[in-house]
Amino acid sequence: MALLDKFAAADNLKAQLSAVGHDPTQVVIDKIITATEGLVEGRHTILAGTNNYLGLTFDTACIEAGKQAIETQGTGTTGSRMANGSFAAHKALEQDLANFFGVPYGMVFSTGYAANLGTLTALLKPGDAVLLDADAHASLYDGCQMSGADIFRFRHNDTASLEKRLQRLGERAADCLIVTEGLYSVMGDCAPLPEIVELKKRYGAWLLVDEAHSLGVYGDSGCGVAEAQGVMQDVDFFVGTFSKSLGAMGGFCTSRHPQLELIRYVSRPFIFTASSSPSIVASTHEALRQLQARPELRKNLWRNAHQLYRGLHDSGFEVGPEISPVVAVRLGKKEVALPFWNYLLENGIYTNLMAPPASPDQHSYVRCSVSAAHTAQQVERIIQVFCEAKEKL
């Protein structure tokens, strides 16, 4: 096969996606107006698929923090922390993140993807065993694969399936790593962490929880699903991202284990990546303060989540298994879902299309993510356009 022939499949996919109207992977938002509204092809569009859970992207304190950091620290770090040194702001953010999670150690990465790659490739080596939830994010799969460890999947959120694999691992179970998410981003369902923790303890395994979509969303303090389910002290490693509820870009790992500090010396995705720019670190840090100081953001978020989930459910849509700020609507075949998603976009609602093999089963979904910044009228409009789409298509 010639070098470039391998793109034939992608070319075919591109043609399929474009044939119905807009390609869901190539939408251009010409202008961002607010955290929940943009202009797409001249249309005012409600942003209902951007994971902006707390709506902090236009928060005045976060913007001011970013501006000040640019003015006082410059536009970028021009290299990695190992080569160029850490800025004091990187260290301060790490400490505050650790404090927020109630653990001694914290580490920030340039993206959420890099956080998962950087943590997993450092924790695991060839010969180690990792038990991975079947619906885990690609960054968790990629981190496990890059590590060279033996990867065994268990059925999504199925603790019986997890236990069977722990049993089959025999003596290896006592040193394996269980990898799960807090809130799963496609269906909007949470991991049963107390049951997973019980198995972890019984078999002597380790546990890493990705709170990418649950940070700022779950728990009394906003730490995530482990806090909401009362098992924070039993999680060995928390990973997550700054690009959702914190409205910026970057990732992190926090832990009670002092070896997290040593990951800095061995993690290639950390060592060989330019560190986050001062403005990103500053706005992230301010967003973390806002998250803690303004619990009303979570209250608004959950009010909107209930409104959207209930509204779609009561309109006859097949929604995910539980109410959460991620609301997935099952639409069956891609041939149905693609025009549906196009109708939404052409009528001013931006959502996400999830089709096999990127969806967790054989069905296609349109996924919404709710924001604290959505108004009740915007949520009502989203439900209305979904209903129109169902009627017309």
Partner 1 sequence: MNTRKNEIERRICELLASYLESSNHPELEAHGEITGDTNLASDFTLDSFQIMEFMMEIEESFDILIDVNSLSNSHTVSDLAEIVISSLDDTAG
User: Among 354, 352, 365, 351, which residue's Cα sits nearest to residue 321?
Assistant: 365
User: Catalytic one among 90, 137, 200, 244?
Assistant: 244
Site residues (CB under 8 A) for partner 1, limited to 327-356: 356
Calpha distance 137→133 (Å, rounded): 9
Calpha distance 144→233 (Å, rounded): 24
DSSP-assigned states of every residue in 140-200: HHHHHHHHT-EEEEE-TT-HHHHHHHHHHHGGGGGG-EEEEESB-TTT--B--HHHHHHHH
> Is there a catalytic annotation at residue 257?
no
Q: C-beta of 314: minimal distance to partner 1 in Å? A: 30
Q: C-beta of 132: minimal distance to partner 1 in Å? A: 8
User: Catalytic one among 213, 285, 363, 374?
Assistant: 213
Determine if 152 is a binding residue for partner 1 (CB under 8 A). yes
Determine if 134 is a binding residue for partner 1 (CB under 8 A). yes
User: Among 167, 155, 223, which residue's Cα sits nearest to residue 192?
Assistant: 155
Site residues (CB under 8 A) for partner 1, limited to 165-224: 165, 168-170
| Residue among 14, 91, 155, 390 that touches partner 1 (CB under 8 A) | 155
SS3 269: helix
Q: C-beta of 335: minimal distance to partner 1 in Å? A: 13
Q: Which CB atom, from 339 or from 360, has the smaller least distance to partner 1?
A: 360
Calpha distance 309→322 (Å, rounded): 9
Determine if 32 is a binding residue for partner 1 (CB under 8 A). no
> Is there a catalytic annotation at residue 315?
no
Determine if 357 is a binding residue for partner 1 (CB under 8 A). yes
Distances (CA, A) of 108 to 32, 101, 182, 250: 27, 14, 19, 7
> Is there a catalytic annotation at residue 244?
yes
Determine if 16 is a binding residue for partner 1 (CB under 8 A). no
Phi, psi of 210 (to 5 degrees): -90, 115
Active site residues: 185, 213, 244
Where along the sequence are the contacts to partner 1 (CB under 8 A)? Answer: 132, 134, 141, 144-145, 148, 150-153, 155, 161, 164-165, 168-170, 356-357, 359-362
